[in-house]
Amino acid sequence: MQIASPPESPPPPSHRESWRRSFDVVHEAGASGVRVSRVMLDGSDDDSSGSGWGAEFAGESESYGIVGLYTAREAGFGYIGGGAAGFEGGVGLDLAWGVRIPAGRYHGPFFRAGVRGWLLGNDALYSSFLELPQMQLGYQLLTSSSVLELGWRAGPVLAGRYNTGQQAYRKLGKSFEVGGYAALHARPVHFDFGLTRVLENEHEGPLNMLEGKLCGDASMVRFCTDGRYYQGRERLGGGWAPLGHETQAFYGGLTIGLSHETWDAFEPD
């Protein structure tokens, strides 16, 4: 007579799976691949050197999660390479955590606090920014298949730079920023847009920054186009540029890479 062996227990969930299951709803997406970039300047001390193509290895990601009243939004990017404007690279993070008040099963107003910052550029354009704490106030719809979020944000800018050309520069510390953002993620389209306005400090005038990203998925491949636009006065030759003379800079790229994406809505055990 054979004695039946007890059924094997399923393997324990991985650390990543346990983290994901801690959320009621979670969305994670991103891509890793090759990026072609372009930088253009207008009004700087050396506009001719500010136009050039580059190529980089690049990656980007974003995640949204909700469990009970707790809400999290995390995004980041990184790339490294070079081109006509010399060595080129960048890294950035946008992290915020807080509370969402349920107005329905999948949506409601939220408040978050966190940190936002980046370092990026090449020989023609250098941009850095550190905002801590960053405060967000907005409305979110997060389901197992889509994300729609509109938010207002503000916070102190502790450090940063906006440098163009060979000598023009601007320090961003000891100032405050206000702005907003919008995000839409619904397979196969992913869209992010943000506006940042660094308020006047020592009578130099505000610095306006726009950033956006539009991605589309085709099977396991993701195509992304991204762009950043800057407008503001800089120092040149020991003094500020005349009133009304503002430097404009555009930096953007196109990335083709492998997509990684997760949509989950977990029911209580």
Residue ranges and CATH numbers for the domains of the chain are 31-261 (2.40.160)
Average pLDDT over residues 98-123: 95
Q: Is the pLDDT of residue 267 over 60?
A: no
Among 119, 191, 112, 121, which residue's Cα sits nearest to residue 154? 112
Other Cβ atoms within 10 Å of 17 Cβ, number:
11
Q: Let me know the angle formed at the C-alpha of 232 by 227 and 233, rounded to the nearest 5 degrees.
A: 145
Average pLDDT over residues 130-148: 94
What letter represents residue 22's amino acid?
Answer: S
pLDDT tens, 45-59?
776 554 589 999 999
Average pLDDT over residues 209-226: 93
Among 30, 65, 28, which residue's Cα sits nearest to residue 220? 30
Average pLDDT over residues 85-97: 95
Other Cβ atoms within 10 Å of 137 Cβ, number:
14
Element (H, E) at 212: strand 207-218
Q: What's the pLDDT score for residue 23? A: 59
The alpha carbon of residue 248 and the mean position of all alpha carbons in its chain are separated, in whole angstroms, by 21
Q: What's the pLDDT score for residue 48? A: 53
Q: Is the pLDDT of residue 201 over 90?
A: no
